[in-house]
Amino acid sequence: MDEKLIRKAVRERYAIRAQEACCSGSQVVSGCSVAEPIKLGLGRPAKEANLRKGETVLDLGSGAGGDVIEASKLVGPKGLAIGVDSTPEMIMEARENARARSLKNVEFRLGEIEHLPIDSESIDVIISDCVINLSPDKTRVFNEAFRVLRPGGRIVISDVVTTKEIPGPIRKDPNAWAGCVAGAIKESDYHALLKQAGLEDVATKSRDKAWLDFISSAVISARKPNRSDPKTTPATRRKRVTKK
């Protein structure tokens, strides 16, 4: 699949979802809701990550901000919850949702998860709900995750994985990519990519039943080794995330 076609299909789908939510007064959650009678990305990574007061947490593909808002409550006023999403309409919806709740420890930034608008070694925890499967360059996603995590930082992802080979026509369908199906990979490949990026303690925390005969969901966790870069002082590691 052509990368530009995939990105275009994903952005168009989620722009429409954000506009529909705005008109209906409902809230779009992060992750994928496909047109078929199933909903993927049922995990709650903010809860699974055991967030602590004062931590800085980053949500990859934050949508309208549901997981970020939940995370902001868990990290408290001295913590920070950041969402990154590539769809402008979703970012606007998320910011409005945060304003409506008068949240002060929340930020939403427009950007691709393959090119995060986040400083290196500034994040304690990364979460994501049914989004990384949408990326045509998952290696880059995990390399970026490693870059922005502080030493010892952790990542908890709820996503779809394949249980069987996905049929060729589905793999080549941009709408199937946007629907959180065509971009899914095997659980073992997920683990391998995380390890390749330099993360350790990679594990599957839980699995759900299979959908569509070849797709299921899983919650996968990993950790960045707790080895400090000699060029990075404790003060810079503790600094708050700066805006780009």
Q: In this predicted model, what pLDDT tens digit does every residue of 142-151 receive, in sequence order?
A: 999 999 999 9
Q: Cα–Cα–Cα angle for 117, 23, 109, nearest 5°?
A: 5
Beta pairing class for 149-162 and 215-223: antiparallel
pLDDT score at 14: 56
pLDDT in tens, 114-130: 999 999 999 999 999 98
Q: What is the dihedral of CA 179, 181, 183, 188, to 10 degrees?
A: 150
| pLDDT value at 230 more than 90 | no
Contact 107, 87 (CB under 8 A): no
DSSP letter (8 states) at residue 27? -
Categorize the per-residue pLDDT at 174 as very low, low, confident or very high, splitting at 50, 70 and 90: confident
Reported confidence tier of residue 215, pLDDT bands at 50, 70, 90: confident
Q: Is the pLDDT reported for residue 227 higher than 60?
A: yes
Whether 224 has a pLDDT exceeding 90, the answer reads yes
Q: For 28-64, write each residue's pLDDT tens digit.
A: 444 454 433 334 345 788 999 999 999 999 999 998 8
Tokens for 99, please give them. 């304003």
Helices (H) and strands (E) in the chain, counts: 9, 8
**Helix, strand or coil, per DSSP, at residue 242:** coil
CATH number of the structural domain 3-230: 3.40.50.150
Interatomic CA distance for residues 176 and 62, integer angstroms:
20
Place of tokens 């593909």: 61
Confidence of residue 10 (pLDDT cuts 50, 70, 90): low
Buried b (16+ CB within 10 A) or exposed e, 206-233: eebeebbebbbbbbbbbbbeeeeeeeee
Look up residue 238 and give its DSSP letter.
Answer: H
Type and span of the H or E element at 107: strand 106-110
Output the six-digit token pair for 148: 């922005």
Check residues 219 and 2 and name the one with the higher pLDDT.
219
Average the pLDDT over 83-90 and give the result.
92
Compute the distance between CA of residue 160 and CA of residue 168 in angstroms, rounded to an integer.
18
Tell me the average pLDDT across 75-89: 95
Strands annotated E in 36-96: 56-60, 80-85
For the chain, give the percent of residues with pLDDT over 90.
Answer: 54
Structure tokens at 123: 């994040």
pLDDT (0 to 100) of residue 13:
60
Note whether 122 and 151 are within 8 A (CB): no
Task: Compute the distance between CA of residue 160 and CA of residue 208 in angstroms, rounded to an integer.
Answer: 9
Residue with tokens 């995330």: 241
> Encoding tokens for residue 223?
């950790």
pTM: 0.81
Region 234-238 average pLDDT: 40
Q: What number of CA atoms fall less than 13 Å from residue 226's CA on the CB side? A: 4
